[in-house]
Homo-oligomer: A and B are copies of this chain.
Amino acid sequence: MTPRSKNGKPTMRDVAARAGVSSMTVSRVLRDDPRISESTRRDVLGAVAALGYRINENARALRLGQGTRLVALMVTNLANPFYSRLALGVESELERQGLFTVVANTADSETKERALTTDFVGRRVEGLIVVPAGEDHTHLRAEHTAGTPAVLVARPPVGHGADCVLVDDFGGGRALAGRLLDEGHRRIAFLGNAEAVYTTAERLRGFLAAHDEAGLRHDPALVRHGGTDPAEALGAAAELLATGPTAVVTANNRNTLAVLRAAKASGARVAVAGFDDVDTADLLDAPLTVAAYDAQEVGRRAARMLLERLDTQASPPAPRTSVVPVEIRTYEGAARG
């Protein structure tokens, strides 16, 4: 019996009818227009409560020509703590500007990323923050996003200019290898992962640069790539240890743990230095060196870049890149006798 619009929710007209006024009056009451009589206001609010009416912000925004105040964040793997911290950083920074964050997972699929981008642009999100899944970034170019600005994270734009926040992958890889070389290691293996193409490549490049700078040639047989799967990573780590390195540099958390496990299982004694901090590192059995960086800060910077772009949409300056530093930390492992 209650009058309802198609989608099942009452409309302003329903409220107006019940209160015996026009929908304009309802609109005014809801927006606290001062020139409304107390009695009318009461009647309207009564009808609102009775019907459980909530204004339709989408219709309102359409009429007002306003934006959605929505920003879409697309990450490759939400289960990875790096991305959840990233999301938190983005969210916290956007929230203070009254913007909402829509988080979507691309599961490392370029196809999904493209589909999501199209959808989000269609929904008129005000901006995109993306950890690109692949190398093809055409769908992120302004021509394809109807001008919706995009900020890339962790991987630089390919084939076009775009704002972007990176981690100092090269510097971190170089520093990790440098540490080990300083400690006298000469047979240092590298365990990366094939998916994170850019990231791993940079970290490896830094690793090799440190060898160059030390005047050493690096044995390519000591470089290996684990997969996305922890089990795969463990296998790769075991193989790598079998080649007899005295130390290993890893390109991410998963690989770091894989090496520690493989070493524990085989009883091999290797120094381990890897990317991403391990939050229980101080409680581990074995010593560990890590290249740590602030994932939340990455998110905050990306958000800020987007906000600046939104402010200046009329006269966009050149695309900018921001590089978040990494910090080397060492943990001693369990104190033994």
Chain A interface residues toward B at CB < 8 A: 5-10, 52-59, 61-62, 65-68, 70, 78-79, 81, 83-85, 87-88, 91-92, 95, 100-105, 118-119, 121-124, 142-147, 257, 260-261, 264, 278-280, 282-286, 296, 313, 333-334
**Known: A65-B6, A66-B7, A100-B102. Contact between A280 and B282, CB under 8 A?**
no
Residue pair A87, B58 in contact (C-beta under 8 Å): no
Residue pair A58, B124 in contact (C-beta under 8 Å): yes
A-B contacts, 6 listed (Cβ < 8 Å)? A52-B143, A58-B62, A78-B91, A81-B81, A257-B279, A264-B282
Copies held by the complex: 2
Cα–Cα, bound, A104→B87 (Å): 10
Cα–Cα, bound, A283→B265 (Å): 11
Q: Which residues of B contact A5 (CB under 8 A)?
A: 65
**Known: A59-B62, A280-B278. Contact between A88 and B92, CB under 8 A?**
no
Q: Which residues of B contact A61 (CB under 8 A)?
A: 58
Q: How far is the CB of A281 from chain B (nearest CB, A)?
A: 8
Residue pair B68, A92 in contact (C-beta under 8 Å): no
Closest chain B residue to A285 by CB distance? Answer: B334
Closest chain B residue to A146 by CB distance? Answer: B54
Cα–Cα, bound, A328→B101 (Å): 36
Q: Which of B52, B78, B104, B284 contacts A280 (CB 8 A)?
A: B284
Q: How far is the CB of A99 from chain B (nearest CB, A)?
A: 11
Q: Which of B124, B143, B285 contacts A56 (CB 8 A)?
A: B124
Closest chain B residue to A81 by CB distance? Answer: B81
Cα–Cα, bound, A13→B88 (Å): 39
Q: Which of B8, B122, B286 contacts A283 (CB 8 A)?
A: B286
Cα–Cα, bound, A266→B333 (Å): 16
Cα–Cα, bound, A88→B105 (Å): 8
**Known: A87-B103, A278-B280. Contact between A124 and B7, CB under 8 A?**
yes
Cα–Cα, bound, A85→B87 (Å): 13
Residue pair B58, A9 in contact (C-beta under 8 Å): no
Residue pair A283, B282 in contact (C-beta under 8 Å): no
Q: How far is the CB of A324 from chain B (nearest CB, A)?
A: 17
Cα–Cα, bound, A261→B146 (Å): 52
Q: Which residues of B contact A57 (CB under 8 A)?
A: 119, 122-124
Q: Which residues of B contact A143 (CB under 8 A)?
A: 52
Cα–Cα, bound, A260→B285 (Å): 13
Q: Which residues of B contact A62 (CB under 8 A)?
A: 58-59, 62
Residue pair A78, B67 in contact (C-beta under 8 Å): no
Cα–Cα, bound, A66→B285 (Å): 57
Q: How far is the CB of A270 from chain B (nearest CB, A)?
A: 14
Residue pair A88, B78 in contact (C-beta under 8 Å): yes
Cα–Cα, bound, A284→B79 (Å): 22
Closest chain B residue to A257 by CB distance? Answer: B280
Cα–Cα, bound, A119→B283 (Å): 43
Cα–Cα, bound, A10→B104 (Å): 26
Q: How far is the CB of A11 from chain B (nearest CB, A)?
A: 11
